[in-house]
Structure 1
Amino acid sequence: MSVIDVDSALRWARLDPGKTLARRTDEDLPFLSDAAEAGYELLLDTCVYIDGMQGRSPDAVADLLDIRQVNHSTVAIQELMHTVGVLDPGHPGTRGAIGQIKTTIAAMPEHRIFTPDADILGRGAMLSGILCRIQGYHQDARLKALHDCVLFLQAQKLGLTVLTANVRDFDYLLQLMPTSRVLLYRAVA
């Protein structure tokens, strides 16, 4: 038995809305309100960690993280570690940034870290390919789309809600798979 249902994957790969997806208005999207509420467990997008480290998270995000069960994906850990590798070792802020990332990852309870399985990785790769085709994404955006799609499908499979400030890309994903759960916020400037 195959880990990935190739026949259904091929049917899904033919998804074509016939047009480039347009970003919907904020009123049509699931934004976090000013007051955090109880609800489904969360899976955090990488931007949640980064916004927290840089002091750009709105108070409602901190409140939400206090009242909901928080889960972590190895996709986000991978992106955080990529940041460590990209940082200029000679820059005076690099040591502090690496220290914050190390502290953030170390604080993740092991039993709350989830790794996407082969099914999620395969379907995530295909969904990102569809998104790249429909939206005309180029080089740098393709890898980012792959990570977003894997995280999105991982949350769906686990019954979790993705928390993210990546409004544009997760709006597109919700248009392609509207039954998935995402909670959006805007980072504080």
Structure 2
Amino acid sequence: MAFDFRSAERVRRRAAARTLARRPDDALPFLGPDASAGNGLLLDTCVYIDQMQGKAPAVVEDLLAIRPVNHSAVAVQELLHAVGVLDPGDARTPAAVAAIEAAVEAMPAHRLFVPDMDVLGQAAVYAGLLARVQGYGKPERMKALHDCVLFVQAMKHGFAVLTRNVREFDALLQIRADGRVLFYRT
């Protein structure tokens, strides 16, 4: 079977009616001051952006140097979307496009994962659940779908999502406590 509908439906029913409140930082898996070895990482798009803008904290750079780093086609898609959105008349655009190109070109093919139908299906159910219980509007729904794909994709491959997006990924951890996420702040 390409998609496990029953599994996704069980999760949907368990979280059917409750709003998922943002938990305090000390209840979440934030990076400490020092990087440590561990399972592979799947990078959220914000990690690439923070690196390009020089805003990634030193602990993130250290973590990326010692753990296997994996990439999702979803993050690549979000980065390439930015290339299309950037104003060609803005003097900053060529540098931004060059940085995005360098980031995408540096991703080894064996570390780039494309979500399959099961990942996409489960992520769609979770994103719909988040949209409903959190009251998301249309712009937030698509972002939630991308985040859900990363989360489910990471679970499938045994990776931890590295992100600074506490809002969505805290909610996802409340839906699926077996997921792995590492949070950081810039």
1:174 corresponding residue in structure 2: 173
Q: Secondary structure at the match of 2:185?
A: coil
The separation in 1 between residues aligned to 2:162 and 2:105, in whole angstroms, is 20
Please show how residues 151-162 of structure 1 align to structure 2 within 5 Å: 151-162=150-161
Question: Would you say how many aligned residue pairs link Structure 1 and Structure 2?
Answer: 186
Q: Identity over the aligned pairs, expressed in percent? A: 57
2:14 corresponding residue in structure 1: 15
Q: CA RMSD in A?
A: 1.1
Q: Is the 8 A contact 1:45 1:162 kept in 2?
A: yes
The separation in 2 between residues aligned to 1:169 and 1:3, in whole angstroms, is 26
1:136-164 CA distances to partner (integer Å, 9 max, x unpaired)?
A: 00011000000000000000000001000
Aligned partner of 2:122: which letter? R
Alignment TM-score, normalising by the size of structure 2: 0.97
Q: Secondary structure at the match of 2:38?
A: coil
The separation in 1 between residues aligned to 2:12 and 2:18, in whole angstroms, is 15
Aligned partner of 1:40: which letter? N
Structure 2 gap ranges (5+): none
The separation in 1 between residues aligned to 2:17 and 2:159, in whole angstroms, is 30
Alignment TM-score, normalising by the size of structure 1: 0.95
1:73 corresponding residue in structure 2: 72
Aligned partner of 2:60: which letter? V
The separation in 2 between residues aligned to 1:9 and 1:176, in whole angstroms, is 11
1:14-59 CA distances to partner (integer Å, 9 max, x unpaired)?
A: 3335321111110000001110000111000000000000011000
Q: Is the 8 A contact 1:75 1:151 kept in 2?
A: yes
Indicate yes or no: 2:97 matched with 1:98: yes
Q: Secondary structure at the match of 2:42?
A: strand
Q: Secondary structure at the match of 1:128?
A: helix
The separation in 1 between residues aligned to 2:5 and 2:30, in whole angstroms, is 35
